[in-house]
Amino acid sequence: MNYLLALLVPMLWGSTYAAVSLFLQDMSPYWVAVWRALPAGLVLLLLRPKLPPLSWSRMTLLSFCNIAAFFVLLFIAAYRLPGSVAGTLGATMPLQMMLLQWIGEGKKPDPRSVVLAILGLIGVGLLLNPSADLDPIGTLAALAGTALVSQSAIWMKRWPVNDALSFAAWQLVLGGMMLIPFAWFVAGAPVALPVDAIPGLLWLVLLNTAFGYWAWVRSVKKLGPNVMSMFSLINPVTAVLLGIGLVGESLGLLQWAGISLILMALLFMKKPAKPTRITASALDGQQEKPGQKKASHQQNNPSASVRQQ
């Protein structure tokens, strides 16, 4: 159940491109970010009306990194890079997660995990077929946004929080409020929502964001940030497959090969490690020390103890 719920997160977030393409093309992306975050947080807050589960300083830091700053960097990357390039750079999350844990916690990356993360990244590169023309500002924005989400996931796992619903709600509310002045400054005052945009916005608010962020927070706490970073590779796969089914796109041979590599990386990540053999040295360490063996023999043979007195 935990893994199924975790897999739903990148699938839902991978539907963002299709929802925007079908319903929200004429809206400002900055105000879409506001309408995506703030109402979703308010919906969750209505379901769980309580104060933040962490201190205001920690909640503000998480909301800024995980919602407000991430959305801003996401749109900078989207305007300066082809969507395929931005998606590929976002797939560096597993590697960035391991690097941040190595720097911040001294947790040396497991070689097997590094290989699987690189395999998944190659798969995303084949899937999205990025061009070689990389804008430096857009590239830095995409990498920085991914790093912020990775660091936020590490904090969420480390800090003691038991209420995932309230935790997700306050992140979205505070992050959405931070986005309002930015959207107003960049795109001007908000305009009335067109009727044909309502279905796409409802999908983004209720399932993509409200349910999706609650499931993300819960899954990070249950499974850990490293597992969720690997699952994030499903995001571009979902986006491409929905593009085929809903937007009329098509896949080439290299893109199908990319999907196969991603699924292979996820399959080997889930596969448990082989049990460790007990070596002779370990067995020797488990044997009783000479003194202990002698004492034990004396306890079992009282006459021997009397003879030594």
Model confidence, pTM: 0.76
The count of C-alpha atoms lying within 13 angstroms of the C-alpha of 5, restricted to the half-sphere facing its C-beta, is 15
| 159, 207: one domain | yes
pLDDT at 137: 87
> Does 66 have pLDDT greater than 80?
yes
Q: Which of 188, 182, 173 is nearest to 72 (CA)?
A: 182
SS (H, E, C) the chain: CHHHHHHHHHHHHHCHHHHHHHHCCCCCHHHHHHHHHHHHHHHHHHHCCCCCCCCHHHHHHHHHHHHHHHHHHHHHHHHHCCHHHHHHHHCCHHHHHHHHHHHHHCCCCCHHHHHHHHHHHHHHHHHHCCCCCCCHHHHHHHHHHHHHHHHHHHHHHHCCCCCHHHHHHHHHHHHHHHHHHHHHHHHCCCCCCCHHHHHHHHHHHHHHHHHHHHHHHHHHHHHCHHHHHHHCCHHHHHHHHHHHHHHCCCCCHHHHHHHHHHHHHHHHHHCCCCCCCCCHHHHHHHCCCHHHHHHHHHHHCHHHHHHHC
pLDDT at 23: 87
| 213, 299: one domain | no
Give residue 120's domain range.
2-273
| 14, 107: one domain | yes
**Burial tier of 65 (Cβ tally within 10 Å: 0-12, 13-18, 19+):** buried
User: Bigger pLDDT: 119 or 86?
Assistant: 119
Q: What would the pLDDT profile of 208-256 be if each residue is shown by its tens digit?
A: 999 999 999 999 999 988 888 888 888 777 777 776 766 566 667 777 7
- Spatial separation of the C-alpha atoms in residues 17 and 242, rounded to whole Å: 9
| 180, 308: one domain | no
Q: What would the pLDDT profile of 97-125 be if each residue is shown by its tens digit?
A: 888 888 888 888 788 888 888 888 887 77
| 9, 43: one domain | yes
Percent with pLDDT over 90 in the chain = 30
| 302, 264: one domain | no
How many residues does the structure list for the chain? 309
Could you tell me the pLDDT band of residue 270, with boundaries at 50, 70 and 90?
Answer: low
| 158, 306: one domain | no
Could you tell me the pLDDT band of residue 132, with boundaries at 50, 70 and 90?
Answer: low
- Spatial separation of the C-alpha atoms in residues 292 and 231, rounded to whole Å: 51
pLDDT at 164: 92
pLDDT at 306: 37
| 191, 65: one domain | yes
Q: What amino acid occupies position 187?
A: A
Least confidently predicted of 68-82, 84-98, 100-114, 293-307: 293-307
- Spatial separation of the C-alpha atoms in residues 259 and 98, rounded to whole Å: 23
| 245, 293: one domain | no
| 107, 197: one domain | yes
| 64, 129: one domain | yes
| 231, 307: one domain | no
User: Bigger pLDDT: 292 or 54?
Assistant: 54
> Residue 303 corresponds to which tokens in the numbers above?
């006459």
**Cα-Cα-Cα-Cα dihedral of 56, 228, 129, 111, to 10°?**
120
pLDDT at 185: 93
> Residue 122 corresponds to which tokens in the numbers above?
């190659």
Q: How many domains does the chain have?
A: 2
> Does 271 have pLDDT greater than 60?
no
